[in-house]
């Protein structure tokens, strides 16, 4: 567990967040008295480190096709809900 004063955290924010992402807990102090704890909200294995590959879903779902009217305008009745004309 790492203890840092507020000024150190502000000065090295990126490095501090990097340590937290690697699983370390950081105690933030004000005048050497602990006031807050900074820890990761996602487990290490849940943080995406690889880039997504475009078209990968085509292999996973080969039968999926977009309908021909995919980009067609919405019906007036449905559009009224988005514009606030209807509730």
Instruction: Please report the pLDDT score of residue 83 as a whole number.
Output: 86
How large a percentage of the chain has pLDDT more than 70?
90
The model's pTM:
0.48
Q: What is the pLDDT of residue 66?
A: 87
pLDDT in tens, 3-12: 999 999 999 9
Fold entry, domain 2-42: YefM-like fold (3.40.1620)
Q: For the chain, give the secondary structure using H, E and C.
A: CEEEEHHHHHHCHHHHHHHHHCCCCEEEEECCEEEEEECCCCCHHHCCCCCCCCCHHHHHCCCCCCCCCCCCCCCHHHHHHHHCCCC
Domain boundaries, the chain: 2-42
């Amino acid at each position: 567990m790492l203890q840092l004063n507020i000024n150190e955290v502000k000065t090295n924010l990126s490095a501090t967040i990097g340590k937290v992402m690697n699983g370390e807990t950081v105690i933030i102090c004000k005048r050497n008295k602990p006031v807050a704890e900074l820890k990761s909200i996602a487990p290490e294995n849940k943080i995406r480190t690889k880039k997504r590959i475009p078209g990968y879903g085509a292999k996973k779902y080969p039968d999926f096709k977009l309908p021909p009217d995919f980009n067609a305008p919405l019906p007036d009745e449905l559009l009224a809900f988005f514009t606030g004309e209807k509730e």
